[in-house]
Chains A and B, each alone.
Chain A
Amino acid sequence: MIEVNKQGEVWVFAEQHNGQLEDTPLELMSKARHLADILNVKLAAAVLGNNVKDLSQKLIHYGADKIYLVEHPLLEHYQTNSYAKVICDLIHKHKPQIVLCGATITGRDLAPRIASATKAGLTADCTDLQIGDHTPANNSNTYKNLLFQIRPAFGGNIIATIINYDRWPQMATVREGVMPMPAPDTSRKGEIITEIAQLSQNDLPLEILEEHKRQKKIDLKAARVIVAGGAGVGSKENFSLIWDLANCLGAAPAATRAAVDLGFIDHDHQVGQTGTTVRPSLYIAAGISGAIQHQAGMSQSQKIVAINNDPDAPIFQIAHYKILGDLNIVVPKMIKAIKEKGIKE
């Protein structure tokens, strides 16, 4: 635990594997930049690894003022204990007021270990962060400029705003894909501070025997247009309608969890709370009722077209274009209309 201090910096844990930065810390940069500007403090990124100095410039271009660079052969591969130890040491030394991590598998493994060791408050899977004031119900003190940690709870049915006003750092993990990736500014300058890690083999209790990573079959986050199908599509064969519409729009095919569970399409295509969060220019939802868990992954799309034969489907509440009808009739008509307009990609 560190004392509440208003001069503390805003920190982002710059998750990297094999020298490659993950998307999430970069996505976090624009929001963290904004928070640091409101608080009038520096934004720093903590980079841990072996031979990872090259990542510093990139993080500066994405918004960091400062890089805490910790290089050590024992940091080559992520392990909970070694990474937690180094970050806890950095926190105790520099006393940041906010520490943010991506809610990736690594972030969700690491952040609670750090929070427990520093006895700090931690909010998981935030979808938004803001700065605001809080007055506890039982006292008249107003705590100013706190981190509002905003997250869905109860299966996405409520949105909770969490704060920690008396024990710092204020920690949060942030869901992948919910914050737009900022554009890098290559003229930005920053300071690189090299820190020494105090590590021994005892800090690495795990032997990593094997690791297999595969490329995702599709990058939904990068898609400008997405055509998604739900259980309402009916069968794997019929899901070809979704592929056809996506193909003629140069769009990415996607699906709800229900459609994935029914085997219509691979999990890599899943949008929603347990899949990918997307924010395309256009999201076409066919045969999707719009469960709150699905909406959590696509409600920030700029335009939403919903095709459903149930007038009460919740998807219609967030759709800009509502088409009440049978997708088996509507989707072919859309393909025809698009081909007539001569769209091709």
Chain B
Amino acid sequence: MAYNCVVLIKQVPDTKRITGQAMNDDGTVNRSALPAIFNPEDLNALELALQIKEDFGGKVTVITMGLPAATSILRDSLFRGADDAILLTDKKCAASDTLATSYIISCAVKKLNPDIVLCGRQAIDGDTAQVGPQLAEKLGITQITYVEKLIELNGKRITVRRNIGNGFQKVRTEIPLLLTVTSEANDARVAAAKKMMKYKNALAPVEVAQSIKAQNPDADETTIKDLIEHKCGILDEKELLIKQWDLDFIDADLKWCGRNGSPTKVHRIQSVVLTAKESKEIEPNDQGISDMIHELIADKTIS
């Protein structure tokens, strides 16, 4: 049978490249100073979905909740082989914690009626690994986390290997289900040149609006609106219009979204400053090292 796969992806700041310049004076991280990238393990989730499509047929839809700028990873997904892309964006999503995020995404995913939902194991900005299991609970489906290999897919039955720390487990269940995928699962394919040519001009309506407003700084609102509609119509005909959904469209209850829907709040943020209380410089010669060893024996650090 063919499978309807939905892949959740996230644009994240590249936390591995944090330098002094990316820190604000108050110790917070200046996100805008960091390159925004496709969350690495989400690429493994996308790759697994694309492999399922190649082997069994079906469809791969990618969806991201984020700012308009996150459309770039949707385009990237189209370049790699996704069939459809959805930008879930709304100012009312701001300040959502993992619980509110999983609620919002669940409302969107329900519209797509997937057989298999795939996410990366965790995103590198928060490293929480929470949204996947929370989403599975909200959708009322089985979850399998830490998936490192798809072993078999046969009708409704699916068998995977999951990492359990010091070892692995082979488990079998039935679709629909949600998988969180680790980096061991596969090597993500790169963008295909043909698809890049096809989709490089794909835009979400919010991006169309931004560019039209920039090109027509003096036009009145009605004209702008008409121009946007016209351009979106052209893109849609060419299948280059990236879908854009807001909270209203997915019938989300605002009570469970954004700040209101988020039980966790930030009390305090501190930058990490680690220092030893007392430190000594040791000369890298026989005497210096011998004295240090003597001291460590004397204070019973080593015996």
Interface residues of A (CB under 8 A from B): 80-81, 84, 104-106, 108-113, 115-117, 119-125, 132, 134, 136, 146, 148-149, 152-167, 205-216, 225, 249, 281-282, 292, 295, 299, 302-305, 307, 316-326, 329-330, 333-334, 336-338, 340-341, 343
Contacts and interface: CB of A to CB of B under 8 A. Distances in A.
Contacts of B172: 206-207, 209
A119 B301 contact: no
Contact of B279 (A148, A212, A321): A321
Contacts, number: 240
B14 to A, nearest CB: 9
Contact of A205 (B125, B130, B174): B174
A206 to B, nearest CB: 5
B110 interface: no
Interface stretch (B54-62, B77-85, B136-144): B136-144
A154 B127 CA distance: 8
Per CB-CB distance, the 3 closest pairs between chain A and chain B, nearest first, are A325-B284, A121-B263, A155-B15
A322 B276 CA distance: 11
Contact of B98 (A122, A320, A329): A122
B144 A206 contact: yes
Given A116-B99, A225-B301, A281-B302, 8 more contacts: A108-B129, A121-B263, A158-B29, A163-B267, A282-B301, A303-B301, A324-B284, A333-B286
B137 A318 contact: no
Contacts of B28: 158
B297 A341 contact: yes
B169 to A, nearest CB: 5
Q: How large is the interface on B (under 10, 10 to 19, 20 to 34, 35 or more residues)?
A: 35 or more
Nearest to A291: B16
A202 B134 CA distance: 20
Nearest to A17: B164
Contacts of B133: 80, 109-110, 112-113, 116
A304 B168 CA distance: 35
B269 interface: yes
B289 A334 contact: yes
Of B15, B159, B271, B294, most buried by chain A (CB within 10 Å of CB) is B15
Of A80, A108, A281, A326, most buried by chain B (CB within 10 Å of CB) is A108
A157 B170 contact: no
B127 A116 contact: no
21 contacts: A80-B133, A105-B163, A105-B165, A112-B128, A113-B136, A115-B99, A115-B130, A116-B138, A121-B262, A124-B126, A154-B125, A156-B272, A159-B272, A205-B177, A208-B171, A225-B302, A281-B301, A281-B302, A282-B301, A317-B275, A333-B284
B272 A152 contact: yes
Contact of B267 (A119, A134, A214, A338): A134
B18 A213 contact: no
Of A116, A120, A161, A166, most buried by chain B (CB within 10 Å of CB) is A116
B295 to A, nearest CB: 8
Contact of A154 (B29, B263, B265, B297): B29
Given A113-B133, A317-B274, A158 B269 contact: yes
